[in-house]
Amino acid sequence: MVAKLAIRDAGKRYGDLDALKGCTFDVADKTIVSIVGPSGCGKTTLLWSMSGLHSLTSGEIDLDGQRITGPRPEIGLVFQEANLLPWRNLMGNILFPFEVKGQKPDMDWIAHLMERVGLTGFEKRMPRELSGGMQQRGSIVRALSLRPQVLLMDEPFGALDAFTREEMNRLVEEIWLETKTTIVFITHSIEEAIFLSDRVIVLTTRPGRVLADYPVNLPRPRSLETMASREVFDLMNRIKADIYGMSSTRSRTAAE
């Protein structure tokens, strides 16, 4: 399959600190790929580079074979913590991208998305009047309203409670089943990564490189039973071992 996104030897230095180095992998079209890795290993750096908000200091990232040099309309971004503008109501937030681009919004599509995420009727609410989960759903609608081909999500549900988080995971899968938007998903939760993804990529400690790349061949939509299967259990333990292995080598080298 042809790669939607190609990350080629991506590297990013902040001063004399290598945040990311020699990171290479592909994201196939219409798939969900999760990225997990120890804190501070460069996940956000990588995602922001994919979105064109950051430039790399070495290597490149291509979208459909074309190098990404700045923000692209084909790429949507969902931030950690919903990042709604507090002075606009929900609909004002969802229409914000259209205002900036001077583009006419597709109101039917937006209404459909609002319905899909269960926000119909909340259009006039201010962000502070919405729960954290609702805010994040709003930000997903905002990102999807432009019909991006790629959706980048940086720990979007990290701040939510476990229940809401599971609900949001199901929602992301449903949306994906409907739109087949290519999704790159960063998370600290291995379970969340497995539940959502077709592939889970494990990054090393800083500077981030690909340590392991696991395909997740589970039927969709995924259910509690799938998640309780032997296969998932094994995979979860392998990823945990990867991450734990890194932290123990690090503490060992630190102790020496």
Nearer to Mg ion, 138 or 156 (CB): 156
Q: Which of residues 18-47 bind ligand ATP (CB under 6 A)?
A: 19, 39-45
Total number of residues binding Mg ion (CB under 5 A)? 1
Q: Which of 24, 64, 69, 73 binds other proteins (CB under 8 A)?
A: 73
Q: Which phi and psi angles does 62 have, rounded to 5°?
A: -115, 140
Q: How far is residue 32's CA from residue 151's CA, in Å, rounded to a whole number?
A: 9
Span interacting with other proteins, options 3-11, 74-82, 180-188, 239-247, rule CB under 8 A: 74-82
- Can residue 140 be called a binding residue for other proteins (CB under 8 A)? no
- Can residue 222 be called a binding residue for ligand ATP (CB under 6 A)? no
Name every residue whose Cβ is closer than 8 Å to that of residue 124 and which is 6 or more positions away in sequence. Answer: 89, 90, 91
- Can residue 81 be called a binding residue for other proteins (CB under 8 A)? yes
Q: Which of 3, 13, 74, 83 binds other proteins (CB under 8 A)?
A: 83
Q: Which of 6, 27, 41, 77 binds other proteins (CB under 8 A)?
A: 77
- Closest separation between CB of residue 44 and Mg ion, Å? 3
Q: Which of 14, 67, 115, 233 binds other proteins (CB under 8 A)?
A: 14
The set of long-range contacts for 38-43, using a CB threshold of 8 Å and a minimum separation of 24, is: 38/203, 38/204, 38/205, 38/243, 38/246, 38/247, 39/188, 40/205, 40/206, 41/203, 41/204, 41/205, 41/206, 41/207, 41/208, 42/12, 42/203, 42/206, 42/207, 42/208, 43/154, 43/186, 43/203, 43/208
- Nearest 5°: the CA angle 26, 200, 39 is 105
- Can residue 122 be called a binding residue for other proteins (CB under 8 A)? no
Per-residue contact flags (x/-) with Mg ion for residues 31 to 60, judged by CB under 5 A: -------------x----------------
Total number of residues binding ligand ATP (CB under 6 A)? 11
- Can residue 16 be called a binding residue for ligand ATP (CB under 6 A)? no
CA end-to-end span of the chain: 46
